Amino acid sequence: MSKKKTTLTRRGFLRRAAFLSAAPTIVPATVFGRDGKVPPSERIILGGIGIGNRGSHDLRWMLPEKDVQFVATCDPQKSRAEAVKKIVDTRYGNTDCKIYRNTPEFLTERTDIDALLVTTGDRWHALMSIMAMRAGKDVYSEKPSSMTVAEGQGVVDTARRYRRIYQTGTQRLSEGNFAFCNEMLRLGRLGKVHTVRAHIAPWDAAEMRHDWLPAEPQPPKDEVDWDAWLGPCPWRPYNSAYCRGGWRGFYDFHTSCIGEWGAHTFAQCQVAIDQAHTSAVEYNYVKNKTGDGMVVVFPNGIKMVLQLEGWRGSCGVKYEGPEGWVAAADGYSQPDVSDPAMLGDFKKIVADYMTRTQRPMSHVRDFLDCVKSRRQTVANPVVMHRTMTTVHGANICMWLKRNLKFDPVKEQFVNDPEANRFLSRAMRAPWMI
Q: Residue 400 to residues 60, 301, 394, 417: CA-CA distances in angstroms?
A: 41, 24, 10, 12
Q: Residue 318 to residues 105, 187, 246, 306, 339: CA-CA distances in angstroms?
A: 45, 16, 31, 11, 14
Residues 164 and 186 in one domain: no
Residues 158 and 194 in one domain: no
33/188 Cα distance (integer angstroms): 45
Domain membership of residue 432 (yes or no) is no
Domain membership of residue 371 (yes or no) is no
Domain membership of residue 76 (yes or no) is yes
Instruction: Determine the pLDDT at residue 226.
Output: 98
For the beta carbon of residue 378, count every other beta carbon within 10 angstroms.
Answer: 23
Helices (H) and strands (E) counted in the chain, each on its own, are: 14, 15
In this predicted structure, the answer to whether residue 424 has a pLDDT above a threshold of 90 is: yes
Residues 179 and 54 in one domain: no
In this predicted structure, the answer to whether residue 35 has a pLDDT above a threshold of 70 is: no
Domain membership of residue 38 (yes or no) is yes
Indicate the burial class of 177 (C-beta count within 10 angstroms; 0-12, 13-18, 19 or more).
buried
Band of pLDDT at residue 14, cut at 50, 70 and 90: very low
Residues 82 and 159 in one domain: yes
> pLDDT tens across 187-237, in order?
999 999 999 999 999 999 999 999 999 999 999 999 999 999 999 999 999
Q: Residue 170 to residues 49, 361, 367: CA-CA distances in angstroms?
A: 18, 13, 12
Cβ(16)–Cβ(22) under 8 Å?
no
Instruction: Determine the pLDDT at residue 415.
Output: 98
10/27 Cα distance (integer angstroms): 16
Domain membership of residue 404 (yes or no) is yes
Residues 135 and 200 in one domain: no
What integer is the mean pLDDT of 125-153? Answer: 98
410/392 Cα distance (integer angstroms): 15
Q: Residue 380 to residues 163, 167, 367, 387: CA-CA distances in angstroms?
A: 12, 5, 9, 11
Distance of CA 376 to the CA centre of its chain: 14
Instruction: Determine the pLDDT at residue 10.
Output: 55
In this predicted structure, the answer to whether residue 9 has a pLDDT above a threshold of 80 is: no
Pairing between β-strand 98-100 and β-strand 68-74 as defined by DSSP bridges: parallel
In this predicted structure, the answer to whether residue 321 has a pLDDT above a threshold of 60 is: yes
Residues 6 or more apart from 70 whose CB is under 8 A from it?
A: 46, 47, 48, 59, 62, 63, 88, 91, 97
Residues 88 and 191 in one domain: no
What integer is the mean pLDDT of 141-163? Answer: 98
What integer is the mean pLDDT of 173-193? Answer: 98
Instruction: Determine the pLDDT at residue 22.
Output: 44
Select the more confidently predicted residue: 303 or 13.
303
Band of pLDDT at residue 28, cut at 50, 70 and 90: very low
Band of pLDDT at residue 33, cut at 50, 70 and 90: low
Q: Which domain holds residue 18?
A: 10-171
Instruction: Determine the pLDDT at residue 24.
Output: 46
* Closest C-alpha among 167, 200, 227 to residue 429: 227
| E strands present in 23-123 | 44-49, 68-74, 98-100, 115-118
Band of pLDDT at residue 1, cut at 50, 70 and 90: very low
Domain membership of residue 233 (yes or no) is no
Q: Which of the listed residues 148, 171, 194 is the one where a domain comes to its end?
A: 171
Tell me the pLDDT of the chain averaged across its residues. Answer: 93
> pLDDT tens across 235-269, in order?
999 999 999 999 999 999 999 999 999 999 999 99
Instruction: Determine the pLDDT at residue 29.
Output: 45
Torsion angle of alpha carbons 233, 239, 244, 250, nearest 10°? -50
Cβ(270)–Cβ(261) under 8 Å?
no
In the beta sheet, which residues pair with residue 77? 224
Instruction: Determine the pLDDT at residue 19.
Output: 42
Instruction: Determine the pLDDT at residue 40.
Output: 82
Residues 163 and 199 in one domain: no
Residues 94 and 178 in one domain: no
Q: Residue 146 to residues 130, 152, 412: CA-CA distances in angstroms?
A: 11, 6, 16
| Alpha-carbon radius of gyration of the chain | 23
Residues 166 and 278 in one domain: no
> pLDDT tens across 72-131, in order?
999 999 999 999 999 999 999 999 999 999 999 999 999 999 999 999 999 999 999 999
Q: Which residues of 270-303 are buried (b: 16+ CB within 10 A; e: fewer)?
A: bbbbebbebbbbbbbbbeeebbbebbbbbeeebb
Calculate what percentage of the chain has a pLDDT beyond 90.
90
